[in-house]
Structure 1
Amino acid sequence: MAPSVTENIILSATDKDVTLADRNTHATRVAGKDVDPEKKALFASVTKRIDYSPKIGTELHGIKLSQLTDQQSEELAALISERGVVFFRDQEDLDRKEHVKLGARWGPLHIHPLVPHDQESPEVIILDSRLNPPNRYNTNNSWHSDVSFEPAPASYSILKFDEIPESGGDTAWSNGYQLYDDLSQPIKTLLEGLTATHTSDIFRFFQANTGRKTFGKLNDSDHPIIRTNPVTGWKSVFTNSVFTREINGISAAESKWILEYLNDLVSKRLEYQVRFRWQKHSVAIWDNRSTFHTGVPDFRPYHRRGLRVTVSGEKPFFDVNSGTQAQAFEPIAEAIVSKQEAAEKSKEDAALQLA
């Protein structure tokens, strides 16, 4: 069978490559763990830092992702896990080769079992709105974490758009750490003892309706509902509206109610969310273990085209003794308050001197 290729994009598996994604594996180390908490090597190159909100989303200027040292790369992984998602502008030199190289620093690269990929590098998936007719699977406007159906789901995803619409087409992220922190203690205790099944059902449906061959097995996996991020040691909710089918060990009605409640919090609690306006050569890197994201489908009839590399992480786990973002944030909040109070006092002193 000849490959289905459009502009160097492989749309469907060939007979030879139907098991291509079966070589996916889990990370053998945790990138970003136990680095310098001040991240001095990374921030030595940063000319400007913009925090989108106190707890999620940071934009860094002055960094060229293709030129990171090993130490900077590790510190960046830690920052991404702490902030959920980190944004970069003006990364024109992050070509496909450098894109793959960056992801491979943090772990084995995932090959998606169905999404179209680059002909030369199957780890690079193509997100092109022209490949998205209405009857095709589409996770725009559907909050999810990438490939959570895998036994070892994604740790980090690296997305760069090389074609952006004149308006619309943002991406939004939601904070799984804060979602967990805001739950009442009885609900936390309940969820910490449960697992949920994450499935490839959305892709099976598409395959059944198109006959397209997949690049590998469409997996189903059971994961803890509350997950410990191995980099930060913080607890996060780990379910999503695209891939989580059911909670194990409870009734179907109870499972449906709990999942809908959690999905509702992800999508509607604006204080958990940040939104990124893409520019050409912008890059977003996020931690799928502790965030959810969605594309905003408001850009048609414009086109949007990007490349994504996904890093496979570890098998999800829950450590009852792990901490929380809320606990870690307490000294940061105190420092912010002290800085504001000092600024206000300085203004008052200046006003008194002029009086």
Structure 2
Amino acid sequence: MAPSIAPSDNVVLSSTEKDASLADRNTFATRVAGKGADPEKKALFASVTKRIDYTPKIGTELHGIKLAELTDQQAEELAAFIAERGVVFFRDQEGLDRKEHVKLGQRWGPLHVHPLVPHDQESPELIVLDSRLSPPGSYNTNNSWHSDVSFEPYPSSFSILKFEEIPEAGGDTIWSNGYQLYDNLSQPLKTLLEGLTATHTSDRFREFQAKTGRKAFGKLNDSVHPVVRTNPITGWKSVFTNSVFTREINGLSPTESKWILEYLNDLTSKRLDYQVRFSWKKDSVAIWDNRSTFHTGVPDFQPYFRKGVRVTVSGEAPYYDAENSGTQAEAFKKTADAIIAKQEKEAAEKSNVDPALQLA
């Protein structure tokens, strides 16, 4: 491995001949973690002491769970829950040290080795996001929304991020809901996009290499994926393009491709009802489903710094199942209707109670 680079301990910044092919070992998941989970997730919620849904359709904070102590059944149900909620947050996860962090990701599939981002010297699957190594620039965050490593032939299913050091203020992360983005499109546009593919590239990393001379840990891949994909756990449709890695929509003219991608990116970044925002504390953890969400960091914390570590679980090749895919909107309506019916039943039962008993 390459030597450690100050100021972060045990961080490898650039490859040597010894580790120049680390990322070439990346593979794909042989099973879909969470697909066989109990729909009610009884084992997981038996340990939950408090649940906070940040919005109706994306983002939940769970208390009472220690990620380093999950049973196999809880881990399987958590994977399914993340796919449904998009991103799930945890506080006070001091027990999830770097070794346990890697073990947690491995429960859901093979871990991705990033071809360029600095990583932990002992575990190349664990990338290190230290602002002292890559300070936040003055860029437009509307153009930084992405799904992790979508340029790979087998992009990430889940990402697990923990911050070890946090700034005095700022540095939030925002996620946007790809399910809802799809659901709110007009039917003619849905029909068009469902038949298209897009090329995802490592162009941004190639540009970074050209500026810095940093050597990659493996091949910088380009891949073609469906514009609308099916989440294998929920079966729901999601838009799967992003402003960082998606170069073009195939089969369209450059002008048409540019217009559609910019429109989708605008919805991702500007529709507040698609979004959930998380303020980090030390030992906080976020786990999200890259198949159905986009995210971006907010570069507002200078002159402070922050350091986090992340593992990225490799998933399956993205696919679109036209015959068997549903939508989050359909599932949400079914759940909402059931809740409303229960509330109305309880209200009706309460109204039928004998007045004398109500006064007792």
Counterpart Cα distance in 1 of 2:25 and 2:110: 10
TM-score (norm 1): 0.94
1:190-209 paired onto structure 2 within 5 Å: 190-209=192-211
Q: Matches of residues 189-228 of structure 1 in structure 2 within 5 Å?
A: 189-228=191-230
Residues 23 and 112 in structure 2, CA contact (< 8 A), matched pair in contact too: yes
CA distance in 2, matches of 1:192, 1:102: 34
Q: Determine the C-alpha separation between the residues in 2 that align with 1:167 and 1:341.
A: 44
Whether contact under 8 Å (2:44, 2:74) holds in the other structure is yes
- Conserved in 2, the CA contact under 8 Å of 1:140 and 1:295? no
Q: Residue 98 of structure 2 is aligned with which of 96, 99, 108?
A: 96
Contact 1:173 1:294 in 2 (8 A): yes
Distance change >3 Å, CA 336–CA 141, structure 1 → 2: farther
Moved more, 32-41 or 284-293: 32-41
The residue type equivalent to 1:336 in the other structure is: I
Deviation for aligned residue 1:59: 0.7
* 1:337 counterpart residue number: 340
**Offset at residue 34 of structure 1 (A):** 2.4
Q: Following TM superposition, by how much is the alpha carbon of 1:156 offset from its aligned partner in structure 2, in angstroms?
A: 0.1
Residue equivalent to 1:316: 318
- Matched ranges for 1:235-246 at <5 A: 235-246=237-248
Over 3 Å counting, the alpha-carbon distance change for 1:2 and 1:215 in structure 2 is: closer
Equivalent position of 1:166 in the other structure: 168
> What secondary structure sits across from 1:189 in the alignment?
helix
Paired-residue identity, %: 79
What's the CA shift string for 1:16-53, capped at 9, x where partnerless?
11111000011111000021100001111111111111
What is the DSSP-based 3-state SS (H/G/I as helix, E as strand, rest coil) of the residue aligned with 2:68? helix
The amino acid across from 1:264 in the alignment is D
Task: Give the number of aligned pairs.
Answer: 353
Decide whether the 8 Å contact of 1:176 with 1:292 is kept in 2: yes
Mapping for residues 22-37 of structure 1, pairs under 5 Å: 22-37=24-39
Q: Secondary structure at the match of 2:164?
A: strand
Correspondence for 2:282: 280
CA distance in 1, matches of 2:148, 2:70: 25
Paired amino acid for 1:29:
R
Q: Quick check: 1:132–1:138 contact (8 Å CA) kept in 2?
A: no
Q: CA–CA distance in 1 between the matches of 2:226 and 2:143?
A: 25
Q: Which amino acid in structure 2 is aligned with residue 100 of structure 1?
A: V
Distance in 1 between residues matched to 2:61 and 2:342, nearest whole Å:
21
Shift of 1:10: 0.2
Note closer, same or farther for the CA distance 1:104–1:233 as it changes in structure 2 (3 Å cut): same
Q: 2:19 aligns with which of 17, 20, 43?
A: 17
CA distance in 2, matches of 1:339, 1:127: 46
Q: Distance in 2 between matches of 1:131 and 1:98?
A: 24
One-letter identity of the residue aligned with 1:288: N
Distance 1:318 1:8, change over 3 A: same
In the alignment, the residues of structure 1 paired with residue 183 and residue 335 of structure 2 have an alpha-carbon distance, to the nearest angstrom, of 16
Q: 1-side partners of 2:66 and 2:142: how far apart?
A: 28
Amino acid across the alignment from 2:235: G
The residue type equivalent to 1:242 in the other structure is: V
Task: Tell me the CA shift for residue 332 of structure 1.
Answer: 1.3
| Distance 1:4-1:67 versus aligned 2 partners, 3 A rule | closer
| Pairing 1:111–2:113 present | yes
Number of the residue aligned with 1:39: 41
CA apart distance, 1:330? 1.5
Distance 2:303 2:342 in 1: 46
Shift of 1:300: 1.1
Which amino acid counterpart does residue 235 of structure 1 have in structure 2? K
The offset of 1:2, in angstroms, is: 5.7
Cα separation, 2, equivalents of 1:156 and 1:278: 19
Q: Secondary structure at the match of 1:130?
A: coil
- Distance in 2 between residues matched to 1:175 and 1:29, nearest whole Å: 24
Residue 328 of structure 1: aligned partner? 331
Q: Describe the shift of the 1:264–1:92 C-alpha distance in structure 2 as closer, same or farther (beyond 3 A).
A: same
For the 8 Å contact 1:140–1:297, the answer to whether it is kept is no
* CA deviations over 1:58-113 (Å, ceiling 9, x no partner): 11110000000101100000000000000001100000010000000000000000
Letter in 1 for 2:10: N
| Structure 1 residue ranges without an equivalent (≥5) | none
- Give the 3-state SS of the residue equivalent to 1:131 in structure 2: coil
Q: Could you tell me which amino acid in structure 1 is paired with residue 66 of structure 2?
A: K
Secondary structure at 2:28's aligned position in 1?
A: coil
CA distance in 1, matches of 2:185, 2:113: 35
Moved more, 94-103 or 298-307: 298-307
Matched, 1:5 2:1: no
Structure 2 unaligned regions, length at least 5? none
Alpha carbons 2:59, 2:276 under 8 Å: kept = yes
